Amino acid sequence: MLSPAAEALVRDGWHVVLPSRRYRPIAVPETKQGVAALKALRPRGHRPANGNGGREPGRALWVEAHCDRPRELATKAEAALGAPADLLVAWVHEQYRRSVLGACERLLAPRAPVVEVRSAGGPPAEAEPVLAAHPTQLVMVGSLSEIGDGRPLSHAELTEAVLHAMARAIEGRAASVHQVGQSRPLVR
């Protein structure tokens, strides 16, 4: 469900680690040989650092991981990262949320922002982030669209909300809660 968010980070030059049960490749932008260099050329003799405006191209690395084994998940993610993470975007089943995020906290750079995506349906959930030492953009996801009469929340609406929260996190904005969609009413 968060593939578009990972793709956006890769396009922007981020190195993304994707711990999940199933492999799903993330599109990596192709660089055409010479085109970027020609566009970046300045005066005669100037040499660009690379074809991405001085940034290294992004990449996505998948590691097989399971939420019911949080320490193993964190260890595999740490090996793939190679350095402290500057951002965490996570949507973890409520049952494993605290244990997975707690195990991954040691992988984060000090004060690295977090985007935590959570379901808002069912009984009222605590709207407090797990990693209090990290500024968190909390995205609460309902099941019904706010713009349609009783229609389910679309993937595009969810993606837009997560991308907005990621932008706020990367910009260093204050921690906040974002609601997307409406919760289904409880039927008794």
Q: Residues 73, 103: contact at Cβ < 8 Å?
A: yes
Give the pLDDT of residue 74.
Answer: 94
Specify the 3-state DSSP secondary structure of 108: strand
Q: Which of 51, 61, 54 is nearest to 85 (CA)?
A: 61
Q: Which pTM was predicted?
A: 0.78
What class has domain 3-180?
alpha beta
Alpha-carbon gap, residue 29 to 6, rounded angstroms: 12
Q: Residues 145, 154: contact at Cβ < 8 Å?
A: yes
Q: What is the pLDDT along the chain (188 residues), one digit of tens a residue?
A: 688 888 888 888 888 888 888 887 776 655 555 544 444 444 444 333 433 444 567 888 888 999 999 999 999 999 999 899 999 999 898 899 999 999 999 999 999 999 999 987 655 556 678 898 999 999 998 888 888 677 888 889 999 999 999 999 999 999 999 888 887 665 55
Alpha-carbon gap, residue 22 to 32, rounded angstroms: 30
